[in-house]
Amino acid sequence: MMPPAGYLTISVALFCIGLYGLVQRRSLIAMLIALELMLAAASLNVVALTTLAAGAADGGGARQIGAGHASSVGQVVALILIGVAAAEAAIALSLFVAIQRYASTINVEDLSELKG
Amino acid sequence: MTGPTLAALLAQAAPLAAGVIVLLGLRGRGRAAAGVAIAGLAVSVAASVWLVAAVAIPDRSLLAQTVFLPVDASHALAFGVLLDPLSTVMALVVATITLAVMVYSTGYMRGDPGFARYYGFLALFGWAMQGLVLSANLLQTLVFWELVGLASFLLIGFWFDRPAPAAAARKAFLMTRVGDVGFLLGVLLLIRALGLATIPDVIAAAGAGGGLSPRLVTVTAALLLMGVIGKSAQGPLFTWLPDAMEGPTPVSALLHSATMVAAGVYLVARLHPLFLAAPAVMHALLYLALATALATATMAMVASDIKRVLAYSTISQLGYMLMALAAGSRAAGFFHLTTHAGFKALLFLSAGIFIHHAHSNEMREINERGALAQRAGVIGLVAGSAALAGIIPFSGYFSKEAILGALGVAAGGWVVALAYLGAGLTAYYTFRMVFLTLVPDARTHGRTDAPTHGAADAPTLGGNGGERAMNWTVQVLAALTLVLGYLGPWLGARLSPGEAEHGPFAIGLGAATALALVAAGIGLAWYEFGRRGAARIGFAERIPALARFFGDNWYLDRLYRATVIRWASALSRAARWNDQRIVDGATDGLANGAVGGGRLLALVQNGYVQAYLAVVVTLIAVLAAVLSRIGGVR
């Protein structure tokens, strides 16, 4: 069983990779993929921290995932987050289609009409 | 309400209604406009006749007023009508002359594009003047006083598309306004001291044992006199009147000789006891009026424009009226106002006939274009001039005699002597005008159809048509000059009961002297202008410097341009600089600063969503670092 710090480290790594991709990539779709990575990092964080909190509440007795009541709450939240991510991807992709039709591009550097 | 009150209201309401109807509804229909205006003034004349019959002939005095504006708990300004012989006779004079001018104008103004507008303005003037004459309250007087000034502005500038009348209208308005500031201050001072401005109460308060201190009376009288000087074109503020002759000739007859400029004289007569209670002011007025009368007489001696001659003579005669009032004789001053209204309107309207036909104001040009062919004009000009010069038995003789008599009783020797000299000068310049206009010049005679040059008075006129109305009016007024002179004793008994009687034919030493001086003046005029082979150049015109001095309003206009106007212009230039640089500069700077700052900040909004994201992430990271350093949000 990995200690929670390992989960958190992976989560931070995922978040940073996602952020880097979000800022660096110029294609909207690539940015969406990077954003999904960041969401996954957040979900992993939630699951890891609820497990840690459940372990602390049981006085260190219940270390196994799924053994405590609190850790199952984290897993439910993670599932909801995956659903939210799916919905978000659907909305974002349909927006990208609309943008593609309007501007004939999904390169964000070309989509800079709203400047001061 | 009693009958006279209703009549007084009717005398004001009829011209107002006519004016409003004409100006709002009949702008494009000249004949209907003239008809409505003349009907309105006819009603006003009828009401005034009734007023004279009901009030002046039995010598009654009525005050009808209604509270309008409370000043404080115990005082209030009441507006209404004050009816006594003075106001009712003045109302009749005003209404009659206005009606006469309106009838005359149907001929004179025929074909003018602004015909209906002209009648609307005339009717409004009739209303304002009746309101001024009949008002019971000084504040009410002031309101109508300003309305009269407005009507004067509109009528002088009637041909506003030409620069000269527009400038003259502006000058008249501004110059009279200088005096009106004094009038306003005087009225406000009275209201502050008494809590009211009803004329009989003011007079009572100014008298011995009244509520006003002698010093306050003096200050008030001096302030009110400023308004009089402006309106009646006296003292230093008279130069607007000769310029006002740019208006149509009937307007000059009505406003700028017979009625409006007499408003100042009327005001002094109206408040005569108040002015008498300030002897210092009356003294100053006597000398001022004397100086004005003599100075403008010299200006009339060199003017070549017939209307300017008449304008200067008007100022001079107004000076005589004010001299009589200043010397303490209300009857003599008002008597001269009445006769002057008649014969000066006659003179202007006769001059209008000549101008109508000759298309020029210049006396020599009128002469060249056959002035003698206008019979009615000749009759009117001669009768009016005889009255103005003071030839027995024309009306001017009696009233001027009354003035000189009053001066002889009340004023010092040299004042009287100068006044007599002025009478001689009046005869000289009047008959200079008559001879220059009417007697054919032997040297230019036979030269017909002289080329048109000089300032034509009314270029829009055809020169023909409408003679009947003009001639008829002039003949009626000419007949009046023979009648009005006998009003003197009747007026005297009502206006200054205690005064010595000046019988119409009481020819004493004074009257004989005056007549001799008048004869000398006429003789000199005949020698220089009238006789066969005369040089037709006056003695004053032979000296170029003097002619320039007299012809240029004694350089007063130049003085004003060099001093007051220059200072005022400098002040307004400074104000403009302040407005444009300081006030506008501050707001402009603020606006420009805001715009510039906005532009600068807008550079941040470059439109690249990833740049925004980078900023957001960086800021959150910084915030997180700071918060973790200080230990979280407290």
Look at residue B345 in the predicted model and tell me its pLDDT. 93
pLDDT for residue B445 is more than 60: no
Reduced to 3 states (helix: H, G, I; strand: E, B; else coil), residue A116 is coil
pLDDT of residue B451: 42
Per-residue pLDDT tens for B323-356?
Answer: 999 988 888 999 999 999 999 999 999 999 999 8
Between A22, A111, A115, which is nearest B605 by CB? A115
pLDDT of residue B444: 60
**Comparison of pLDDT for B410 and B452, the residue scoring more:** B410
CB B180 within 8 A of CB B156: no
Residue of chain A minimizing CA distance to B600: A116
Q: For B608, which residue in chain A has the nearest alpha carbon?
A: A112
- Which whole number is the average pLDDT over B96-120? 91
In which band, very low, low, confident or very high, does the pLDDT at B454 lie, cut at 50, 70 and 90? Answer: very low
Those residues with Cβ within 8 angstroms of residue A76's Cβ, 6 or more apart along the chain or in another chain: none
Token pair, residue B140, equals: 């009410």
The DSSP line for B372-383 is GG-HHHHHHHHH
Beta bridge partners of B198: B137
Option in A19, A26, A114 nearest B607 (CB): A114
Q: Which residues of B touch A31 (CB under 8 A)?
A: 610
CA distance B610 to chain A (A): 5
Res B92 pLDDT > 80: yes
Interchain CB distance below 8 Å, B606 and A112: yes
Does any CB of chain A come closer than 8 Å to the CB of residue B608? yes
Tell whether ipTM is more than 0.90: no
- Span B185-204, average pLDDT: 88
Could you give all domains of chain A from N- to C-terminal order, each with its CATH number?
Answer: 4-110 (1.10.287.3510)
Q: How does the average pLDDT of chain B come out, rounded?
A: 87
What are the backbone dihedrals phi and psi of residue B538, each rounded to the nearest 5 degrees, phi first?
-75, 165
Question: In 3D, which of B154, B118, B152 has the Cα closest to residue B132?
Answer: B152
Q: What's B258's DSSP letter?
A: I
Q: How far apart are CA B224 and CA B221, in angstroms?
A: 5
Instruction: Decide if pLDDT at B597 tops 90.
Output: yes
Is residue B196 over pLDDT 70? yes
Q: Please check whether residue B271 is in contact with residue B212, taking contact to mean a CB–CB distance below 8 angstroms.
A: no
Residue B623 pLDDT greater than 60, yes or no: yes
pTM beyond cutoff 0.95 = no
Under an 8 A CB cutoff, do A23 and B605 touch? no
- Decide: B389 and B427 in contact? Cβ < 8 Å: yes
Give the pLDDT confidence of B148-163 residue by residue, as tens digits. Answer: 999 999 999 999 999 9
Residue in A closest to B614 by C-alpha: A23
Rounded to whole angstroms, how far apart are CA atoms B569 and B399? 44
How many beta carbons lie within 10 A of that of residue B449, not counting itself?
7
Q: What is the pLDDT of residue B504?
A: 44
User: What are the chain A neighbours of B605 within 8 Å (beta carbons)?
Assistant: 114-116
CB contact under 8 A, A108 and B609: yes
Burial class (CB in 10 A: 0-12, 13-18, 19+), B566: exposed
- The domain spans of chain B are 1-136, 245-497+504-553, 563-603, 609-634
User: Taking residues B595-620, what's their average pLDDT?
Assistant: 88
**Amino acid residing at A95:** L
- The token pair at B401 is 């005699």
Contact call for residues B258 and B211 (beta carbons, < 8 A): no
Nearest by CB to A115, from B607, B614, B617: name it. B607
Chain A residue numbers with beta carbons less than 8 Å from the beta carbon of B614 are: 23
Does the distance separating the beta carbons of B601 and A112 come in below 8 Å? no
Distance from CA of B615 to the nearest CA of A (A): 11
List B residues 585-604 in contact with A (Cβ-Cβ < 8 A): 601-604
Q: Which residues pair with B480 in a beta bridge?
A: none
pLDDT at B601: 87
> Rounded to whole angstroms, how far apart are CA atoms B251 and B244?
9
